[in-house]
Amino acid sequence: MTNTHVLVIPYPAQGHVIPLMEVSRCFINNGLKVTFVNTEFAHKRVMSAWSETDGPSDLMHMVTIPDGMRPCDDGDDLGVLTRTMFQLMPAKLEELINDINENDEEKITCIVADSCMGWVGKVAQKTDIRLALFSPWSAGVVAIGMSIQKLIDDGVRNSRGKLLKKQMVQLSTSMPLIDPTTFVWASMGDPVIDQVFFDFLFLEGNEAAEIANHIICNSSMELEPGVFTLFPKMLPIGPLLAINKSSRQVGHFWNEDSTCLTWLDQQPVNSVIYVAFGSITIFNQAQFEELALGLIDTKRPFLWVVRRSTSGTMDYAYPSGFMDSIGTLGKIVNWAPQQEILNHPSVACFMSHCGWNSTMEGVSNGVPFMCWPYFADQFFNKTYICDVWKTGIGLNKDDVGIVTRGEIKSKVEQLLNNDTIKQNALNLQGKVRECLGAGNSSEKNLNNFIDWVKEGNVDACGNVACK
């Protein structure tokens, strides 16, 4: 018996690769065969951080296609990468699909593409293969993208995505109010990159969403009920972390430092501030120093992830005497096993950039948030955390754009002394986990989606399809 063969392709950034690796695990656990397509740059990073015990199964094959970047280009420059990939990757992906379907007995019958890779829709149509999208963002952010025409009709933005009037936006009465200046394509900090994201991620993504049969989301009905009611094509199947909880998370671009788990074991229950800002956030030196001194001023144990550059060097300098002053109070690592950390009883709160993966991991473990968004969808996620779910508080910048040490100390005390927020976080954890139970929304959606994928491998007579 042949396995249904799915091709999975993420946007080449860690926050996109990881959840699609988690989705792929769900697929292979249900008997699907997966060809996982990374760019060459992303593939090298993933495989260098992948231990032998975490390697792909017999049902998952890791392959690469070039992204069009030159050797002298910065692979972490998302603006250049997003614009460049459209020039080469569609042809290379089509070549890969044709090669597989000519030489592999188990031909690709479905493509699951990152919703940020909307150009894949044209490849799916050209190769006559069914398409589903996966959202690495909240369903709410995808809904904003799918509502661009409504925003234009309402006079909020023009057809190029430019802001015409400053007013809060609400797509439906069951969704939160949104500040249009924080839309993903308006919050990158560079007008050129903003335009690239609008043109290539959202306009192209909308075209793909129109032809896709389904859009699966790392979310749950409990978290975003208004969105899933408004856009029934979106299927919440998460949180993925909770589905694959027994497995170590894979797809990281850096090696995890597990020594911090031993350090956490030595800390009191509900005492540690976990500080991590994902794979892209950049601080200037003044902000970095203020954060360091703010953590010291809290006089609480902290675990801080300070990511080094790809060359392994430090991009920042610690304040004078800082490393000596923290003693056993703090632990600093380059990259961390976040899934295990957030599940550790010593962790009291999560100071986060509010990326969607981190948001889902915090929610799945009932951890309160201190929200410090950096760009893109993170501002919208903060709205969910602080205003809708009420499971965290935000850190505010001063008049010169700095989150001061005093603000950090004050908000830590405020959060850790707020029993309501703690209880809200635990209540939400229970609700999202319930969605994964047998017969409940996320579990049912995932099973129905996998059934749909498998149906594409069988023709009307019950024979294995040739495409």
- pTM of structure: 0.91
> Would you say 352 and 371 are in contact if contact means Cβ atoms under 8 Å apart?
yes
pLDDT of residue 88: 86
pLDDT of residue 26: 92
- Per-run averaged pLDDT (10 residues), the chain, 467 residues: 89 92 93 94 84 64 84 63 81 96 92 95 96 95 90 87 86 86 76 80 88 96 94 93 64 84 97 94 94 97 85 74 91 93 97 97 97 93 96 97 98 98 98 94 96 73 35
How would you class 159 by CB atoms within 10 Å of its CB: exposed for 0-12, middle for 13-18, buried for 19 or more? exposed
pLDDT of residue 67: 79
Query: What domains are defined for the chain?
Result: 5-248+437-455 (3.40.50.2000), 259-430 (3.40.50.2000)
Q: C-alpha dihedral over 28, 34, 39, 43, to 10 degrees?
A: 40
Any bridge partners for residue 273, and if so which?
Answer: 302, 349
Closest CA to 135 of 224, 251, 218, 15: 218
Closest CA to 195 of 158, 143, 224: 158
What distance in Å separates the CA atoms of residue 394 and residue 69, rounded to the nearest whole number? 37
What distance in Å separates the CA atoms of residue 102 and residue 160, rounded to the nearest whole number? 41
What distance in Å separates the CA atoms of residue 441 and residue 316, rounded to the nearest whole number? 45
What distance in Å separates the CA atoms of residue 404 and residue 381, rounded to the nearest whole number? 22
